[in-house]
Amino acid sequence: MTFSICVREEYEDDAGESQRRFGVAVTTRLAGVGTLCPFASENGAIATQSLVNVDLGRRGIRYVDEGLAVEDAVQSLLNADEGAPSRQVHGVDADGSFTFSGEECRGWYGHLEGDGYTVAGNLLTGESVIEATAASYEASDRDEPLAKRLIDALEAGDAEGGDKREELSVQSAAVVVRTTEERDVEPPYDDLRVDATETPIEDLRETYELARQGHEDAMARYEDAYDEDDLESVEE
């Protein structure tokens, strides 16, 4: 009932230091997907879907943070999960990736892996949904924020048909990005959800644009105060 993408990227920050970021984006024809599916930290990203077991994401990321490879972390949880045949889960860490689609997922379902990313979906109109999602991400401009490019990838998959259950009008979408870079203020556009709407990707994009503009406006006004941890220097 969902399709999603998890990614890992290496980049240099403004000081020329090597950093790593992880992101996950998801959309579905149900409400509140952002509370259930996407999980990310500075060490990895995981999406859990189909008949959702939230622990596959929540505990999976915790195990990755503790040093386990994402494959070992998630596989160990699946091994103990009686409902594993109905699960779909995928993700990336600093060194590798993992994909799993249980045999009882509803068609069309499947997954793919690329260089630093994974894509998976179920109850889709066809394989072209995840292929278009992957192609959009691969062609994206790394100079643009990852959150924006992940929303673009969702949009590309949706344009190919997305979730096939057209009778369900209430939908949702979410994007989460985490990085090893230390920042005085975390950009709010790196963690966004649209919980109930008939136009989830359009609304997520609008929310992203507003959050990005709001962040830029706030930093223009308060950046010195954030740097000094002191609001007394801010003009009324």
User: Would you place residue 218 in the very low, low, confident or very high pLDDT band (cuts 50, 70, 90)?
Assistant: confident
Q: Which residues contact 46 (CB under 8 A, 6 or more apart)?
A: 6, 24, 38, 39, 40, 56, 57, 60, 61, 64, 70, 74, 89, 90, 91
Does residue 187 lie within any of the structural domains?
Answer: yes
Task: Flag whether pLDDT at 229 surpasses 80.
Answer: no
Does residue 235 lie within any of the structural domains?
Answer: no
Does residue 123 lie within any of the structural domains?
Answer: yes
Find the mean pLDDT for residues 77-86: 98
Q: Which residues contact 87 (CB under 8 A, 6 or more apart)?
A: 48, 49, 50, 51, 52, 53, 56, 78, 81, 100, 102, 105
CATH for 190: 3.60.20.10
**Rounded to whole angstroms, how far apart are CA atoms 98 and 80?**
17
Helices (H), 23-102: 54-65, 70-79
Q: What is the pLDDT of residue 72?
A: 98
Q: What is the pLDDT of residue 183?
A: 85
Does residue 234 lie within any of the structural domains?
Answer: no
Does residue 58 lie within any of the structural domains?
Answer: yes
Does residue 75 lie within any of the structural domains?
Answer: yes
Poorest-pLDDT segment among 23-32, 143-152, 172-181, 183-192 = 183-192
Find the mean pLDDT for residues 98-109: 97
Which residue range is the domain that position 157 belongs to? 2-228
Does residue 233 lie within any of the structural domains?
Answer: no
Does residue 15 lie within any of the structural domains?
Answer: yes
Find the mean pLDDT for residues 215-233: 69
Element (H, E) at 141: none
- The tally of domains found in the chain comes to 1
Q: What is the pLDDT of residue 225?
A: 62
- 8 A C-beta contact, residue 60 and residue 74: yes
Q: What is the pLDDT of residue 221?
A: 81
